[in-house]
Structure 1
Amino acid sequence: MDSNSPISASVISYRNDPNDDTIYYMVQVKNKTSDIWQLEKRFSQFEDLAKKLKVLFGEQLPTLPKKKYITFLVGKTPEDIEKRKVGLDEFIQNLASRPEVVASEPLKQFLEIEKNAKDIIVSPPKQIFEFKGFLHGIRDFTISSEQGLMFVITSDCSVINRLDAYLTNMKAPWESEKGDQALIPVGCVECWLQQESGEFQRLWVKMYNSQAITCYWDPVASVLLVGLDSGSINYLYVPEKEGFKKFTESMEIEQHTDRVMGLYYDNKRKYLHSISKDRKYRVLNLRKGDLVADIEPDQYELTCLLGSEERKKTFVGDRHGEIFIYDIEKKRPKLVIKIPTNQLFIRGFFIDNQRNYLFSISHENGVILIIDIQLPGREQYSKEVASLNGKSKSREIGWSSKRGEIYVGNIDGTVTIWDARKSQQLYVLKAHDSDITKLQWLDADQTLLTAAKDKVIKVWSMPQHWRDPKIVEKELEQDQQQAKQQNVEQFQKKAQKQFEQNFQDDDEDDMAVWHKDQKRHSDTKYEDIVELK
C-alpha cells in the first residue's frame, strides 16, 4: 500500500458464470485500519470506470488490457483470462495508489468506498455561487475584495462568429471612423459591484470590435487596462468617487501589432507595461505619450507578464519556456536574469513574497515550475528548485500560501489541486464544461474563483480539512508500526541468512582457515607456508 494512499486494491481471482458466460473478476480492497472487502466486477465495468476517470485525469491514467475480439467460434482460453486478470490487477493497483484518484467520485463508486470505509472519504470543494449571463466566453477577470469590485473580460470564442462580426464591423472608405462601439461585439469588458446584500450587480459594459484578451486593474489609480487581440490597449479611468458606475476617460493605445498577452501599470510613474505575441515588451509613458522601452527579450512570442511593486520587478515568460526578470526601478527596464526552464509555453505567474517563490506552469506539458527568486534585491540569483508533472494544456495557476496548495486550471474544465508540501495531487475538481481561462484565490474568504469559456464564473469553498485529521493521524501511527515491524522482520531474516551461511561454510570445510597462506618466523625473517598439494 502506498503510504500516501488510504487504500490498496488488487484483482485476486476470477470466475466464469455458466449462466450468462460472463467472466467476473474479484477485486479485494483494504484500508489502513485493516478493513477488507471484496467486489465482483465485469471487464465492461472496468472500461466504464476508465472512461469516467479520463474526464478528470486525461491521459494521466494506466491503460486497461486490450479487449480481445471473441466470437462463438473462438472462445476465451484460460491463458487469455489470466492475462487479462494480470492487466486488470496492475490497472486497479495503480489507481488505488494515487490519493487524488481515490478521492474521485468514479473510483469511490466503483470500489464502494462510502459503504465499506466511509472514514477515508475526502471532503470535496463545494460550489457556493456562480456568475452567469455573460455575452461571450470568459477570457480574464480581476476582483478587488476591498472595493467589492470585479471586472470581467469576455470574447466570442467561435471563429465563424468572429469572422462574421469582423466583416459586418468593417467600415467602407467613405464611412466615418468615429465611434469605438462595436456593431457586432467580438469582445467586451463588464464592471460588477458588490451591493450591501452581498450580491454583485453589473454596472456597465464596454464592447470592442476585437477580442478582449486580458486586463489589469490598479485600485489606487482607478485605472483599468484592457488588452485586445488587435494589439491595441484600452485605457479606462473608472473613478471610485462616481461609485464605479461609469468610466470617465477612455483612450485606445496602438501599442502592438499582435495580440496583447499581459499588462501592468506603474501608478507612480504612470508607465504602462505590456507584452505581446509580436515578441515585444514595451513601456509607455502615459504622461508624455512617449515609448520608454521597446524590448525584444528573445525570438519567441511573449506569453505572460507579472509586475511586482514590492520588488520593483517585472516577470516575463515566453513560448520557448524562458522566464525573464527585469528591474523597473529606473526609467528603462533592465534585465536581471534569464531563467531557462527546459519547458515550453509559460502560462501564468504567481508570487509568494513570504517564501520568495515564483509559481508558473507550462501550457505545453502541464509541468508546474517553482522558482526561488530570493529576497528582494537578490533576484539575480533566482533558480528553479522544483517541478511537478501535471496535465498537458494547462492554462492557469493559483496559489494559497496559508494552505500550501497549488491550483491549476486545465483545458478540459478541471482544476487540479496540489499539496505543495508533499508534492502530490489532492483532488481533481470538474469545475467547468470548457477551457478554464482564469483562477483567483481569495485568502480572506478561503475561496477559489474559476472562470471558463462556458460563460460562467464559479465560487468554490475549500474544505477546512480534506480528511478527518484524527483518522489521518491514526493511519500514520499504523504506518509507523508497520514500518517498524518490517524493519524487525528484515533484520531477523538477514541474521538468519548470515547464520545459515556461516554454518554451511563451516560444515563444508571446518579447516578452511589453514588453506590460506601462512607465515612463520624463522630467525630474522618470515617464510611463507603454503598448503602442500
Structure 2
Amino acid sequence: MQLNYKISIPSFQISEEDGRTTHYQIKVQNQNKEWVVQKRYSDFKRLKDSLTQYFGDILPDLPKKKYITFLVGKSDQELDQRRLELEKFLHVISQNERIINSGQFQSFLSLTQSKIQVTILQNFKFGIRDFYYSEDLLIILNAETNALSRFDAYIQNIIDDEATVPVGSIECWEHSVKSWTKKYNSQAICLYFHNQSLLVGLDNGMINYLTILPGKINTSYEIEQHQSRVMGVHLFNQLIHSVSKDQNYRVVNFQTGQLEVDYHHNYELTCLKFNEIRNCAFIGDRNGQIMIFQNSSKLITLDFNDQFLRDLTVDPIKNYLIGICFYTGSTIVYDIGGLGQEKNTKKITQFKNKDKSRCVCWSSSRGEVFIGNSDGTITIWSAKDCSPIKEYQVHQDEITKMIWNEESSILMTSSKDKTIKIICLPKRWDGEIIIEKQKKSLDDIEQWDQND
C-alpha cells in the first residue's frame, strides 16, 4: 500500500501569545480533499521517538536544535531552513510502506481516526495481577505491588502470630455483585478457572486449589508445588500443570497427589500456556526459550535468541504460537502445525514491539497481535506486514493481563494501577470517529458493590 497523499510544509507561524513558539503548517492533499495539520518541532520529535521503538535506526535525522537559538530565538531564515528539513524528514519516512501504515504516522497527519469505547472498573484495593471473565462471572486476582508495603506486611505477620495482614486477595463477582473474597498473606500471581475449579499460584510457591459454587467457596486447600513464585497454572484431565521461578515444571494428579512430571530447567520459567486439543504445554523461560511438552514428554525447544520470554499465546485453529520478550519487545509468530507428526515448527514472522512488553493476545479473524506494555499502553500489530496499526494509552501502570473476545471485538486489560478496562475496538480501522471513554466506578455504577 502506497501513500496516496501529497505532503508539504509550505509555511510556519509564530504564536501570537508568546511570540516564540513556532507552528509548522503541514498540508496534506489527496484527490478528494485537502487539510492542514499544525505541529511544533516537539511533535516531530515525539513522532520520531515513537517510530524508533518499532523501526530502529532506519529513520532519518531531524534538524538539530541549537542552544544559542533557544536563548535568543531564531531568525526567519533559520526557521525557513528548519521547515525545509522537516518537510524532507516527512518525505523520506513516507517512502517506507510499514511506516506509512503505522498508527503513529497516520495519527500524526490525521489520516485516520478510530473509535474505541473504554469502560473502566476501578477502586480495587490492590493492583491486579490476573483475572477471568465470562458473561456472568468475573474473578479478579489482586496483589500488593509495592515492595515496601509487602515487606512491612510480611514482618508484621512474622512478629505477631495472630496478625493476618493480606498482601493479596481473590474476588469473585457474579452478575455484577461481589459474592466472596479470599485474602492471602503471600502475593497472588496467576490463576486458572474452569467448570467450578479454581487454581491460584502464589508468590511463596504454593498453589491454592478451590472449588466454587454460586455465591461461595465450596472447598479450599493448598498444594506444596514449588519453592518460589508460581508463574503459570493449568488444570486438565485431573492434572495440575505449573511453572515457577524455581526453574521447575511440575505436573501433579490433584486426586492422588502423584507427581507425574518433575522437569528441572537451567533458567527461571516465566510463563505457561496449555493447548488442550493437543495436550501440549508451551513454557517460556528467562533466557528466551520456549519448551513444548506433549503428553508429559518434551518435544522441542525453540530459541528466541533473546532474554526473558514474558508471555505466550496459542491459536489452536491456525496453529500459531506467538511469544514476546520483555526487555526488547521482540515478537515471533511460529507455525506449530507440524508438531504432531514431524515435531517441527516454522517461524512465520518476527517484529520488534516497544521495550518492556508484558502480555500478548491474538485475533485470528483480524490477523492482529495485541501487546500490553509496562508503560500502560497497548500496541496493535498487523501480523501480515508486521506494521504497528495503533497505540493506545489505556492504563497508568504496567498491564498485567489481556483477554480478547473474537466475536465482540472486545479487549479486556488489567493493570497494577488497580483498574480493569473493557475496550471495544472498531470492526475496521477506517472511518473518522473520535475516541470515546466511559468511566465506571465499582462504588456506584451498575450495581457493582464494593462492600465486603
**Map of 1:68 onto structure 2:** 66
Contact 2:127–2:143 under 8 Å retained in 1:
yes
**Map of 2:259 onto structure 1:** 291
Alignment partners' CA distance in 2, 1:430 and 1:73: 34
SS of residue paired to 1:464: coil
Shift of 1:378: 3.1
Amino acid corresponding to residue 397 of structure 2 in structure 1: S
Shift of 1:85: 3.6
**Map of 2:100 onto structure 1:** 97
Unpaired runs of 5+ residues, structure 2, are: 433-452
Post-superposition Cα deviations, 1:455-475, rounded to whole Å, max 9, x if no partner, equal 111111111221149xxxxxx
**Map of 2:182 onto structure 1:** 206
Amino acid corresponding to residue 257 of structure 1 in structure 2: Q
Contact 1:232–1:256 under 8 Å retained in 2:
yes
Post-superposition Cα deviations, 1:173-208, rounded to whole Å, max 9, x if no partner, equal xx47xxxxx7221011111122xxxxx221111111
Contact 1:347–1:395 under 8 Å retained in 2:
yes
Q: 1:295-306 counterparts in 2 under 5 A?
A: 295-297=263-265, 299-306=266-273
SS of residue paired to 1:70: helix
Shift of 1:338: 0.7
1:231 counterpart = 2:205:
yes
Post-superposition Cα deviations, 1:44-84, rounded to whole Å, max 9, x if no partner, equal x2215645996x77845866433212269977578855663
Alignment partners' CA distance in 1, 2:384 and 2:311: 21
Alignment partners' CA distance in 2, 1:292 and 1:85: 68
1:351 counterpart = 2:351:
no
1:139 counterpart = 2:120:
no
**Map of 2:441 onto structure 1:** none
Aligned with 1:185 (options 150, 162, 166): 166
Alignment partners' CA distance in 2, 1:259 and 1:271: 20
1:216 counterpart = 2:211:
no
Contact 2:128–2:416 under 8 Å retained in 1:
yes
1:265 counterpart = 2:256:
no
Alignment partners' CA distance in 1, 2:370 and 2:410: 12
Amino acid corresponding to residue 377 of structure 1 in structure 2: G
Alignment partners' CA distance in 2, 1:247 and 1:19: 64
**Map of 1:484 onto structure 2:** none
SS of residue paired to 1:305: strand
Alignment partners' CA distance in 2, 1:319 and 1:283: 20
**Map of 2:244 onto structure 1:** 276
SS of residue paired to 1:101: helix
Post-superposition Cα deviations, 1:213-257, rounded to whole Å, max 9, x if no partner, equal 1001122xx211101111111111113xxx2x1112111122111
**Map of 1:121 onto structure 2:** 112
Aligned with 2:414 (options 437, 451, 464): 451
Alignment partners' CA distance in 1, 2:385 and 2:87: 27
Shift of 1:137: 0.5
Aligned with 1:320 (options 260, 263, 287): 287
* Change in 2 beyond 3 A, CA 1:294/1:6: farther
Higher helix proportion, which one?
1
Alignment partners' CA distance in 2, 1:36 and 1:47: 24
Shift of 1:34: 6.2
- TM-score norm. by structure 1 comes to 0.72
Unpaired runs of 5+ residues, structure 1, are: 114-119, 177-181, 195-199, 470-533
**Map of 2:31 onto structure 1:** 33
- TM-score norm. by structure 2 comes to 0.84
SS of residue paired to 1:365: coil
Post-superposition Cα deviations, 1:359-385, rounded to whole Å, max 9, x if no partner, equal 111111112210110156237111322
Shift of 1:444: 2.8
* Change in 2 beyond 3 A, CA 1:4/1:101: farther
SS of residue paired to 1:224: strand
Alignment partners' CA distance in 2, 1:5 and 1:344: 36
Larger Rg: 1
SS of residue paired to 1:385: strand
Shift of 1:353: 1.7
Shift of 1:9: 3.1
Alignment partners' CA distance in 2, 1:461 and 1:16: 40
